[in-house]
Amino acid sequence: MRRRRAAVAVGFCASFLLGSVLNVLFAPGSEPPRPGQSPGPSPAPGPGRRGARGELARQIRARYEEVQRYSRGGPGPGAGRPERRRLMDLAPGGPGLQRPRPLRARPLPDGVPGWPPAPGPGSPGPRPRLGCAALRNVSGAQYVGSGYTKAVYRVRLPGGAAVALKAVDFSGHDLGSCVREFGVRRGCYRLAAHKLLKEMVLLERLRHPNVLQLYGYCYQDSEDIPDTLTTITELGAPVEMIQLLQTSWEDRFRICLSLGRLLHHLAHSPLGSVTLLDFRPRQFVLVDGELKVTDLDDARVEETPCTSSTNCILEFPARNFTLPCSAQGWCEGMNEKRNLYNAYRFFFTYLLPHSAPPSLRPLLDSIVNATGELTWGVDETLTQLEKVLHLYRSGQYLQNSTTSSRTEYQRIPDSTIPREDYRCWPSYHHGSCLLSVFNLAEAVDVCESHAQCQAFVVTNQTTWTGRQLVFFKAGWSQVVPDPNKTTYVKAPGRPV
């Protein structure tokens, strides 16, 4: 009998251990979450969890009030009640959209504000153009990525336009840790969703060419959680710093100029000076070469209160800065300076000086040094970046830098050289030497500076600054007709 009991106990322990191992190996969250995916049933609330409900309610109310603060000022023309319809799972083979039904805000216990939040003075602003109806019959749903709170998906609308959808990540850390702490899935969803709602409000209030466009939003039901929020935004490409370092200086400068314009806008926004507490390349995207901020749920408008400058220490991993405390009891310019130093350490120091035109490097070095020391604010930084753009676009940076060539070039109109490429860095094309030039004299200078160059082909394509793209060639044994290009070959005794 004792042996039988021991065998049963050993078998039970082995089964429990095997189940634990399988649970670890096949835990949910290893696959990209689908829109509408549920994290599973909430743990049964015990006495400790019931006591923590008040803390959860306090956090939800704090985020709700933050959204209301950012929304104040009155809605724009045409604002109305957000369209609320059921957007079901967008994964291939999903059940599709159901019939529209009216939704009501449902109050939580302990006085937590209802959800969805009722619009009015605290609405996100002008009514977005796209709602749930625009998401019928979408195609090509793809998981893009996720962060602490949100998951992002790419879909194609019936008209062919690609957009991004953002929703609370049901497998994410934010929602999961809340459910483990409080055991209330609906309440935890509302806590996380207020970050998405805050981002939606800020995208609307901070509209700017370097802020991602908000196209619309939709409320959906997700299993046992009603009225989950999905935002519809402009689609951008992730910022990959390693790839950016391999691009032309002109494109890298455009990113830095975009960032300077964005920081100037944030410092003088309708809401006040806005700081990005989570300032990393992954919070930005590229849209047609322009840098745009996409993640605003960790943005903050309020300046830091202080009684002396000892309360105004701006801390970074490499160094700290002490800012003055104003007579009104606020750290002067802390939001602006935090953004500016982060722009220096994540973008300017890597993208601005390298492979820049030699005559522009002293000015670019001064921009990098001044932002690294915080001796300039965003206004002066943007002024100097715009000055670089003017010098580059107008060709003034070439004064006293071009030399008269001893080699003469023969002009062959309506022609190109299909082969005989060589590589140079940085080039617009990885398999050849494709650079932008201001004029013909600069193209000759570039060819003279490359030992391999024996000819170049001027195209009719231009960059964002209006400069012409030119292919530089190692030879010209084969010249073929092309009405959109002009070829110049080294030919002593023949003038350009």
The confidence score (pLDDT) of residue 88 equals 32
- Report whether 443 contacts 470 (CB < 8 A): yes
The confidence score (pLDDT) of residue 21 equals 27
- Report whether 341 contacts 364 (CB < 8 A): no
* Residue 445 appears among annotated catalytic residues: no
Q: How far is CA 125 from CA 77, 83, 200, 266, in A?
A: 8, 14, 10, 18
420 residue type, one letter:
E
The confidence score (pLDDT) of residue 116 equals 60
333 burial type by CB count under 10 A (0-12 exposed, 13-18 middle, 19+ buried): buried
- Report whether 202 contacts 196 (CB < 8 A): no
The confidence score (pLDDT) of residue 28 equals 31
What is the phi-psi region of residue 104: left when phi exceeds 0, alpha when psi lies from -120 to 50, beta otherwise?
beta
The confidence score (pLDDT) of residue 313 equals 94
Beta bridge partners of 456: 472, 488
Task: Please tell me which residue in 221, 278, 298, 445 is annotated as part of the active site.
Answer: 278
pLDDT 10s digits, 313-358? 999 998 999 999 999 999 999 999 999 999 999 999 999 999 899 9
* Two tokens, residue 121: 């003075």
The confidence score (pLDDT) of residue 399 equals 78
Give the count of beta carbons closer than 10 Å to the beta carbon of residue 19: 10
The confidence score (pLDDT) of residue 110 equals 40
- Report whether 311 contacts 331 (CB < 8 A): yes
- pTM beyond 0.75, yes or no: yes
The confidence score (pLDDT) of residue 12 equals 37
CA angle, 241 then 339 then 360, to 5°: 60
Q: What is the mean pLDDT of each run of 10 residues along the chain (496 residues)?
A: 44 36 28 40 49 82 87 43 35 32 36 48 50 86 90 91 92 90 89 92 94 91 81 94 91 97 96 93 94 93 91 92 93 95 96 92 96 96 97 89 72 94 88 94 93 95 96 93 95 54
* Cα 332 → chain centroid: 27
